Structure 1
């Protein structure tokens, strides 16, 4: 569920289960922005009622675990820890996290501090994930022309994980196949490299020029090959989920208008 979705969580759960799907990932931006967002307790009850599994996506729009501003770094870590706490309450299986970034244009000493802050932040969050018993899953990000991101390549992702001495059960991987594609990598390279450490898989498509998050219809091989516990159609619009699975159903907004 993206902050751009107008539906409530329950409306979206009814929609996706009608499509034959059984998992929902909630971005914290959605939960902060929607006026009817459920509490973690309520979310757990909704998941039981609709018989779906849950993952959380830790906030990233206004937060940066690799910020060279130490106050921002610590506040970002607190946001991830809060997501882990909510995941425990809701019965979620994992929390997806981004590894931080720093602008390319900044001087080397700033970029060095930002990289160390990103490592320290991931360590603190992974240790907390181990403490509360929910997997924290580091996502491969798309490249940025403005910012250095630390997990855009298989080598970089491996280095980020190796720098944090927390077991794979509690510090896993989110494989984003669209991000891999726009960066010029086949998603299979990440499977070969990280294998069973992949707990979450984000599904979306692009034309190779930008991170467009288009519907992905050719996903069967991914489901059969990626050893993830959770697969997520990460779309900009709820109706693109239906387009991905080839379902001939009314758009979600139209359904809401009829129901209203």
Structure 2
């Protein structure tokens, strides 16, 4: 089990950045990075968000690879409200379609959740709904030909989440009968850290099933998404195709690679 020699290193496009996609790609490639992940929240929220056709053209022009991140706000594959669950599945399928049009290599997805305070019968329904939703989405990913990659989530005091440990993540993957080629893993090293779990345990358990790796840091007390400057050992050890800095600011992307942050100028702000 070895790291992928031609793996791509880049950053996620967050709606908080306020940047246009083209400006952000200028910034990334100036830093020597060659990958971008488009979060659905950015694509929903930015007034000048690119279409999937635009993303393909930009990726070709800048020489970068692309992944998409399915929605994770106002969304829940494990909702015990059947209409909400179906709407969430539709959003993931739409993301898979857009990823295919854009020429993206994978779609990242979260595994759903339910409030801990709810009765056991509600929590049981939500857990089964999450499994059913993921199976439906993974089957669709196989049909379309874009891998869906389930992410390990951080623990939460108020919500039950289903993929916080290697064992929990493995159990969910085992319940979905879709070839690993199209139902893979996103390893989030920051989430592993805040869960007091060695990210290497995910590598040992899932190996080449890890297609995407999210890079950020924290002090173990909260999911802070701070810059991860010591990322090279992760890239060397994780056999992923795409490594993605997930930061809260554009300047933090530069900090991750040891570059001096530049002022946030008009290149990184929409004119709209």
Query: What TM-score does the superposition give when structure 1 sets the normalisation length?
Result: 0.97
| Alpha-carbon distance in structure 2 between the residues aligned to 1:88 and 1:6 | 25
Matched-pair contact (CA < 8 Å) for 2:20–2:268:
no
| 1:167 aligned onto 2:179 | yes
Which of 236, 254, 260 aligns to 2:265? It is 254
Q: RMSD value over aligned CA atoms?
A: 1.2
2:117 aligned residue (91, 105, 109): 105
Task: Tell me by how many angstroms 1:254 deviates.
Answer: 3.0
**CA displacement at 1:60 relative to structure 2:** 1.1
Shift of 1:255: 5.7
**2:98 paired residue number:** 86
Q: Does 1:34 align with 2:38?
A: no
> What is the deviation of 1:29?
0.4
SS at match of 1:200: strand
Instruction: Work out whether residues 154 and 194 of structure 2, in 8 Å CA contact, stay in contact via their aligned partners in 1.
Output: yes
Runs (4+) off by over 4 Å: none
**More relative contact order in 1 or in 2 (CA 8 Å, sep 6+)?**
2
Q: Is the 8 A contact 2:110 2:151 kept in 1?
A: yes
Q: Distance in 1 between matches of 2:112 and 2:60?
A: 33
Deviation at 1:250, TM superposition (A): 1.3
Measure the CA separation in 2 of the matches of 1:65 and 1:196.
25
1:74-103 residue CA offsets vs partner (Å, 9 max, x unmatched): 000000000000000000000000000000
State yes or no: 1:210 paired with 2:222. yes
The correspondence of residues 138-157 of structure 1 with structure 2, limited to 5 A, is 138-157=150-169
**Runs of at least 5 residues in structure 2 that lack an aligned partner in the other structure:** 1-12
**Residue from 236, 253, 257 that aligns with 1:241:** 253
Change (3 A) 1:13 1:133: same
2: CA distance, partners of 1:196 / 1:75: 31
For structure 1, which runs of at least 5 residues remain unmatched after alignment? none
Matching residue within 196, 206, 220 for 1:194: 206
